[in-house]
Structure 1
Amino acid sequence: MFLGRFDGRSTLLVRALMSGASGARRALGVFHRQQRANPDMSLCDFIETLCQDEITCPAPEVRPVTVKPLVCQFPALFKQNLLSFIYLVHSVLPPTTVLHLLKCLSQDPHPNPWITAMTGQLKRSLGANNEEPLCTPLCSQRLKELSQRLGGFSEAGGWAKCLSGQTIGSESQSASGLSEQGTQRKRKGSFVTLDSEGDEEMRQQSKRIKIDICGSECVDAEEQDANEETSGRLERDAPAQTPAVELQPAANSPCDSLPEHIKVSVLQIKELLECQTEWDQSSMDVFKVLNNCDPTQVEVLCSMLRLADLPEQTLPKLCSSVLALSPDLSYSTAATLIKSLLLEKVLSLSEPASRCLVTAVTSLCSHYPRPMCHALIGPVLMEKNIGNQQAELLNRLIEGCLDSHYRLLLLQMTFKIAWTEAVLSIIHSLLDSKPDLNEDVFAQFTEQLVSQSPQFIKSVKFAKMMLTVLTKYSSYVTAAHKHSLSSCLMLNETFLKKSLQAALKRIPQTKC
């Protein structure tokens, strides 16, 4: 409900921070991609929006209306991910901006202990409030008692003696028993069951499927290194604090719902996407698994492959393989694939789309126009702050990939959103392409035109669009429309005002 407060780039960060325990890593990946696209971008506007006061009234009959910073309205998990993310990038932020955010978080009436500790650590990193302890008095007392208990051990002494198992009774016996049996260590968070009778090749394949795919979520090398760095800092600087969010075991991963043959195909696709060589026909055949998945399985598959993070130079090869499938993908499968693969890339555009991205979008749109309209073009239109880059890409699709039926569908989508300069260029492109309008749709469009015109009295784009309406669609203009449009044109302050009024006068009043 708060996404409307943020611009397009910041909305992507908010969504990443809301995406579960891995939100900080996801946000870091989004931030790095945005930086690569625009090296001058800053997080200051994002943080400033979080610090804006927001009126809240959770239960008017019990408590009065209060005003708190917007960041305090978000759930605890978002705030934990936000602080982890800020900890990773605070070196490139003005200290005053970070301190302002921390001050806003301190206004939370029910602070989370983890958030409190992380706030203190950030203040220390910024050189503020160095003397404030990171742990509570109770935690400090427990640490002191534990240190006293460990102090009396012999020469090996300390933690090493404690962890060797000589004072922990049954736990040490259990550990000793496991040691005698020669049980191998397993990576944390992975539950791998191997068939002792299987050969080594199947053993390795099973291990790779369970660890590489069924882990909580795959992260790229850059994000993983950053996360490990954060964990190391937190362990050194705040040993008394335990994160509120724990890693979930791999057994609870969504990939457990996938049949084994789909998991194997996912592994093959992942290796193929990482391969730098050309794909042969046998390589392309692995994508046939998409025709054997139901909608839920397709979503899990796309999530496991992290298609949103796929390098753009891989897109043409992937799209060629998908388009070569026979039979064609179902509507739901194509829509899920398009959304996972392209939506975030298009929304994050800050410069003209690359050749690889344009090739991928146009090829899929030509073959799957309906899924493209609902999974990509519609969501892009719904974004409040789309820019000229998104409008330019959508205009390419309108002019080169969509027939009249789908152009009409997109025009009707614009009736449900607030118009901007970028949206005006898209509407103008739709009108120039002459979709199959009928009188009802034109009446709805005219109502929208009149209602939104006051905010565009100085817009040349709006005036040009109006001129297109009055010249190319004059046969649809009734006397009622003419009266409404005449009032609308009276407000226009562009150099096209006289041309618009002349075009309106030339329309004969033949309709009642």
Structure 2
Amino acid sequence: MLLSRFDGPARLLVRSLLCGPSGTHRALDVFHRQQRVNTDMSLSHFMETLCQDEVTSPQTGAQPLTVKPLVCLFPALFKHNLLCFIYLVHSALPRTAVLRLLKCLSQDPHPSAWVMALVRQLERPVGTQNDKPLYTPLCSQRLKELSKHLVGSGETGGWARCFSGPTMDSDSQHASGLSELGTQQKRKGSIVTLDSDCEEIEPQSKRMKMDACCSERCDMGDRNGKEETESEAPAETIGEKLQATPEGPCEVLSQHIKDSILQIKELLESQTEWDQSSMNVFKVLNDCNHGQVEVLCSTLSLPDLPEQTLPNLCSSILSSALDFSYSTAATLIKSLLLQKVLSLSEPASRCLVTAVTSLCSRYPRPMCHALIGPVLEEKSMGSSQADLLNRLIEGCLDSHYRLLVLQMTFKISWTEAVLSVIHSLLDSKPDFSEELFTQFSNQLLSQGSQFTKSVKFAKIMLTVLTKYNNHMTAAHKHSLQGCLMENETFLKKSLQAALKRITS
């Protein structure tokens, strides 16, 4: 009934935003497709409709009719997805329209705590002076209790022991509070950072640094353990591997994790269909820290899994009951996919494409750092890898992550395959800042001398001159003119004509 208030294009957006946890990505994909079909596409009418007053009937006859903004009648999940979507595209929206929508959401008589946190988060980039913290008073109190509990603690193991160890305060109420906070910590990446796909904040960065240090220690211990076991028992079983696991701060596995690894191994080797009870065994990943996930991946030999197993495996680990941290998702992606993608000598199989796109849609940032970045850095990267990356760019990454991938290309030497990826990034029309466009222009000048006869490089230049001419300054035009003089392809005249139209 609510859908009838919207026109055709806006109705597609609303349907996408109602599609569960992936609603933000679906809506963003729908919006980009609509923009490609209609360059004058605008969200103004969509925003106005959401803010229109709607008369609602009471649940009981004793209550009077009430008037609420239409957006308040939608479920909390829709509002959550809507705010994440607007956060990603707010630069293309009128500021007054965004502020009006936020004001309407604040009129909700029964607001969701997460929705209100996202409202305050969105008020900052649109210019509203809002210094209120994003967390609730209850969360603040729990954080204070946690900080008091940590003062003077000299034990190793970091935060994980505070949440799962038996050395917590004996006061049951205090322990309960910390336990709940531990559960929230596992999900904080998806909430505080706008469904893991918006702006990364400082605590997330600090956690990533800690995970990186932990990863280095785990890698050293893992390599040492592998050298010893391979020299003594080359044909060891999965059980022997678990018994030989090096004991360190990151590698300690509880018995129930070891039991689950054995069950997962049997499931991966079976030829039968996976049912729901079989998939539930992967919930053990929720109980693993970064180091334990590395041990699990190594023990199960995930890099060597046949590709036909990947769709079932990815479907299981992407179930709604699992929500991984950045480090856990990056470890799984690297173990499962990196070697398979690097070894491609022909177009990726359907199974591999399904696995890569499904993981990228849920965990775009880990995918960028654990797979896309290493593939771009590989000097032997070919057209098969480039085609797969282009699929991810077009179907799974929003503007923020496309810009992240583009910045990765600034740190490497360009090849024909990398040029294909860059061209795909530019065709997706990411939102360039002035600084980033200047950096990209400098890369065109510094790396262009080796591509004077490259048609792909010429197409990149033509895209820049036609689709991004509003970013051009006089300095950009002067430097690009020198770059065009060296071009030796059949597109040279078209390039010079495009530059002339800008300068005139």
TM-score normalized by the length of structure 1: 0.52
Q: Determine the structure 1 residue equivalent to 2:258.
A: 263
1:410 aligns with 2:438: no
Contact 2:452 2:489 in 1 (8 A): yes
1:374 aligns with 2:369: yes
Offset at residue 326 of structure 1 (A): 1.7
1:214 aligns with 2:211: no
Distance of 1:268 and 1:318 partners within structure 2: 13
Equivalences for residues 209-358 of structure 1 within 5 A: 210-211=239-240, 213-214=241-242, 250=244, 252=246, 257-358=252-353
Deviations for 1:220-279, whole angstroms, at most 9, x for unmatched residues?
xxxxxxxxxxxxxxxxxxxxxxxxxxxxxx374779721111100101000000011001
- Note the residue ranges of structure 1 that are not aligned, 5 or more in a row: 1-17, 27-80, 82-187, 191-206, 216-249
Distance of 1:371 and 1:251 partners within structure 2: 26
Distance of 1:333 and 1:251 partners within structure 2: 19
Offset at residue 330 of structure 1 (A): 1.5
Equivalences for residues 68-467 of structure 1 within 5 A: 210-211=239-240, 213-214=241-242, 250=244, 252=246, 257-467=252-462
Residues 1:321 and 1:493: Cα distance change in structure 2 (over 3 Å): same
Contact 2:481 2:499 in 1 (8 A): yes
Distance of 1:462 and 1:251 partners within structure 2: 50
Distance of 2:233 and 2:322 partners within structure 1: 39
Offset at residue 299 of structure 1 (A): 0.5
Residues 1:507 and 1:263: Cα distance change in structure 2 (over 3 Å): same
Distance of 1:415 and 1:367 partners within structure 2: 26
Distance of 2:362 and 2:448 partners within structure 1: 36
SS in structure 2 opposite 1:458?
coil
Offset at residue 189 of structure 1 (A): 5.5
Distance of 1:454 and 1:471 partners within structure 2: 21
Residues 1:271 and 1:475: Cα distance change in structure 2 (over 3 Å): same
Offset at residue 209 of structure 1 (A): 6.3
Contact 1:308 1:344 in 2 (8 A): yes
Higher relative contact order, chain-length normalized (CA < 8 Å, sep 6+): 1
Distance of 1:388 and 1:501 partners within structure 2: 29
Contact 2:462 2:498 in 1 (8 A): yes
Residues 1:433 and 1:251: Cα distance change in structure 2 (over 3 Å): closer
Contact 1:288 1:325 in 2 (8 A): no
Q: Which amino acid aligns with 1:214?
A: L
SS in structure 2 opposite 1:257?
coil
Deviations for 1:129-167, whole angstroms, at most 9, x for unmatched residues?
xxxxxxxxxxxxxxxxxxxxxxxxxxxxxxxxxxxxxxx
Contact 2:329 2:366 in 1 (8 A): yes
Percent of pairs with identical residues: 73
Residues 1:384 and 1:359: Cα distance change in structure 2 (over 3 Å): same
TM-score normalized by the length of structure 2: 0.53
Contact 1:428 1:465 in 2 (8 A): yes
- Note the residue ranges of structure 2 that are not aligned, 5 or more in a row: 1-221
Distance of 1:290 and 1:507 partners within structure 2: 55
Distance of 2:331 and 2:261 partners within structure 1: 16
Contact 1:262 1:289 in 2 (8 A): yes
Residues 1:458 and 1:22: Cα distance change in structure 2 (over 3 Å): same
Pick the structure with greater CA Rg: 1
Two-structure CA RMSD over aligned residues (Å): 2.7
Offset at residue 19 of structure 1 (A): 6.1
Deviations for 1:82-109, whole angstroms, at most 9, x for unmatched residues?
xxxxxxxxxxxxxxxxxxxxxxxxxxxx
Distance of 2:251 and 2:428 partners within structure 1: 48
Distance of 2:263 and 2:306 partners within structure 1: 18
Offset at residue 214 of structure 1 (A): 2.4
Q: Which amino acid aligns with 2:297?
A: C
Q: Determine the structure 1 residue equivalent to 2:139.
A: none
Contact 1:364 1:372 in 2 (8 A): yes
Contact 2:290 2:328 in 1 (8 A): yes
Residues 1:362 and 1:374: Cα distance change in structure 2 (over 3 Å): same
Offset at residue 325 of structure 1 (A): 3.9
SS in structure 1 opposite 2:430?
coil
Q: Determine the structure 1 residue equivalent to 2:108.
A: none
Distance of 2:223 and 2:385 partners within structure 1: 25
User: For 1:505, which of 481, 492, 500 is the aligned residue?
Assistant: 500
SS in structure 2 opposite 1:380?
helix
Residues 1:386 and 1:256: Cα distance change in structure 2 (over 3 Å): closer
Contact 1:209 1:263 in 2 (8 A): no
Offset at residue 441 of structure 1 (A): 0.3
Distance of 2:288 and 2:446 partners within structure 1: 45
Distance of 1:303 and 1:450 partners within structure 2: 43
Q: Which amino acid aligns with 1:321?
A: S
